């Protein structure tokens, strides 16, 4: 089973649809079941979970063998660095003990260390935490 966190956005849904067309089982993690209705109609399972609920997220991960992870973007009006770092921390903690065999995280070529560079630094930290 392929687990896709962030599967209702453009990248995640394209990945899910490609896997479904190959006949692969897919579970989409979303915070709103209505956002995954088209993917459910295409054959995906939908798991509603709060990304910060580590135990709940881990339980969904345990249903799969592979995970494709996208760190959801924070609301622009918030402290996006703090919000996205908190998401990363919860995702990484939920992976511990999940039993997943393979994890792929979506990042960017420009991911780098630094301060207050938005996704560039948060994704760099995500890469480093997953690598550890």
pLDDT of residue 36: 87
> pLDDT per residue over 10-23, tens digit each?
999 999 999 999 99
Q: Regarding beta strands 102-105 and 45-48, do their DSSP bridges make them parallel or antiparallel, or are they unpaired?
A: unpaired
pLDDT of residue 112: 56
> pLDDT per residue over 56-110, tens digit each?
999 999 999 999 998 888 788 888 788 888 998 999 999 999 999 999 987 765 5
pLDDT of residue 35: 87
Q: Return d(Cα 54, Cα 96) in angstroms, integer.
A: 10
**Tokens 């908190």 sit at which residue?**
86
pLDDT of residue 113: 61
Q: Which residues contact 109 (CB under 8 A, 6 or more apart)?
A: none
pLDDT of residue 93: 96
pLDDT interval class at 40 (50, 70, 90): very high
pLDDT of residue 111: 56
Q: Return d(Cα 37, Cα 67) in angstroms, integer.
A: 20
Is residue 67 classed as helix, strand or coil in its secondary structure? strand
Architecture of domain 2-131: 3-Layer(aba) Sandwich (3.40)
Domain boundaries defined on the chain? 2-131
Tokens of 54: 């580590």
């Amino acid at each position: 089973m392929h687990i896709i966190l962030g599967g209702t956005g453009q990248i995640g849904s394209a990945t899910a649809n490609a896997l479904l067309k190959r006949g692969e089982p897919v579970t989409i993690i979303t915070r709103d079941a209505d956002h995954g209705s088209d993917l459910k109609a295409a054959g995906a399972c939908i798991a509603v979970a709060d990304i910060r609920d580590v135990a709940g997220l881990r339980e969904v991960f345990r249903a799969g063998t592979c995970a494709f992870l996208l760190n959801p973007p924070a609301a622009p009006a918030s402290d996006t660095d703090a919000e996205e770092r908190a998401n990363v921390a919860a995702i990484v903690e939920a992976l511990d003990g999940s039993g997943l065999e393979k994890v792929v995280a979506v990042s960017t070529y420009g991911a780098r260390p630094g301060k207050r560079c938005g996704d560039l630094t948060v994704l760099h930290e995500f890469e480093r935490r997953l690598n550890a």
